[in-house]
Amino acid sequence: MGILMDKDTKVLVQGITGHQGLFHTKAMLEAGTKIVAGVTPGKGGEEIDGIKVYDSVRNAVNETGADASVVFVPAQFAKDAVIEAIDGGIRLIVIITEHIPSHDMLDVLFYARMNGATLVGPNCPGIASPGVGKIGIIPNTVLKKGRIGVISRSGTLTYEVVDAISKSGLGESTVVGMGGDKIPGMTFSDVLRLFEKDEYTDAVVLVGEIGGTAEEEAAELIEKEFSKPAVAFIAGVHAPPGKRMGHAGAIITGNEGTAESKIRSFERAGVCVAESIEEIPKALKDKLPRVAQTDFNT
């Protein structure tokens, strides 16, 4: 089992007929995801690997009962695609698309909250629960069923951290690659609350980076209401002062958003901060009871 999705989650792919949509739909199917429909306006009636393509989300939902969506449409159409998904009754939307304007994300985030929908992304690798499926682009090859939850702002680091955890023999319950844009859907704190309630997650890894205050806010939540062991890794410790690194969200303002500020916040909350990706599995094993380490694949 996992958070956000389970074996009964019915996924539709918005932009399924594009190159990225085609490629990642096949990978999601291979991971066990129940993909029930694709949506590309003007391509209704076509089939992709046995999956029917619809002209609209509403038609797809009415015929298939889809309750989650993954968005691969170009940035200029992403806002309309997400709003269409929400209007169609979808309540979990994973936005892979990058370069979506911030004002578009403000609009869709407000609309999602008004309608009870959960957004992951944009500019993110999505979510994966090994043994259940995935919604997004996290490589199948790095995933291993286990009991470690992973939350990350960085796409590439998500893959590297998950790979290190898997190769150590631990494995993951759910991986949430939430993206590093300035206006995100789910945050560290949102996902931590889900992992706190998840009986299949024994510990959590948080992969942060410079810029913003999401990590500091997560550390505060951990200190007050999160009971499970946590390990953090912060990218950008050696970033040159005044230089923006990578994501639009990686912007430092004053004394906030620095690697040092995030590390201090986590340490105050009792979170082990790994200095390298290779240290993460060891830190997890040090924090977990020996009995739990012997049963990660259940």
Q: How far is CA 72 from the centre of its chain?
A: 15
Q: What span, in angstroms and rounded, lies between the C-alpha atoms of 127 and 129?
A: 7
Q: What span, in angstroms and rounded, lies between the C-alpha atoms of 229 and 159?
A: 21
Q: C-alpha angle 202/5/271, rounded to 5°?
A: 30
CA-closest candidate to residue 17, choices 35, 33, 38, 45: 38
Whether residue 122 is preceded by a cis peptide bond, meaning omega within 30 degrees of 0, is: yes
- What are the angstrom distances between the C-alpha of 137 and each of 21, 140, 285? 10, 9, 28
Q: What span, in angstroms and rounded, lies between the C-alpha atoms of 113 and 115?
A: 5
Residue 131 identity (one-letter amino acid): G
The single residue of 24, 99, 103, 247 carrying the catalytic annotation is 247
Q: Is 247 among the catalytic positions?
A: yes
Q: Helices 259-268 and 214-225, interaxial angle, to 10°?
A: 0
Active-site amino acid positions = 247
